[in-house]
Amino acid sequence: MTNNRRVLIVDDEEGFLLLIREALEIRGFEVVTASSAVEAGMEMASKKPDAILMDIRMPGINGIQACEAIKKNPATKDIPIMIVSALSGEADIKRAYRTGVVDYFVKPINIEKVVIKLRDVLGIV
């Protein structure tokens, strides 16, 4: 059963996108995917996601730069962003939080923990 909430996942690893898309869809979310920050920008304009899961290391604009751009734009600044990255250094995590993200998950992630946080920030009971 769908919960009418749309999540944008931004990651350049196709296998990860497919897996997390399926796992979130099974749990009732509508999922939009993008494999780069530029593609994410286009999807945001047309699909208006309720939350974003963002990787950091991507070709071109990285996830941190993408988060900064989203938070600067009045139209998108209130969309909650969670980082999902293999980077686990304290500096990376602090840098991400300074952009205003709501949580940081180090890969490999456990989908249940991500879903709990998504439901929490989106107010899904």
Neighbours of 124 (CB within 10 A): 14
23 makes contact with other proteins (CB under 8 A): yes
**Which residue, 24 or 70, is less far from other proteins as judged by CB?**
24
Single-letter amino acid code for the residue at 96 = A
Q: Give the closest residue to 30 by CA, choosing from 12, 53, 52, 4.
A: 4
Categorise residue 4: left if φ over 0, alpha if ψ from -120 to 50, beta otherwise: left
Applying CB under 8 A, which of residues 7, 20, 64, 83 lies at the interface with other proteins? 20
Instruction: Identify which of residues 57 and 71 has a Cβ nearer to other proteins in the complex.
Output: 57
Range in contact with other proteins (rule: CB under 8 A) among 4-12, 35-43, 44-52, 108-116: 108-116
46 binds other proteins (CB under 8 A): no
Among 86, 94, 98, 120, binds other proteins (CB under 8 A): 86
Asked if residue 16 binds other proteins (CB under 8 A), the reply is yes
Residue 33 contacts residue 61 (beta carbons within 8 Å): no
**Closest to 11 in 3D by CA, of 64, 61, 54, 62:** 54
Q: How far is the CB of 68 from other proteins (least distance, A)?
A: 26
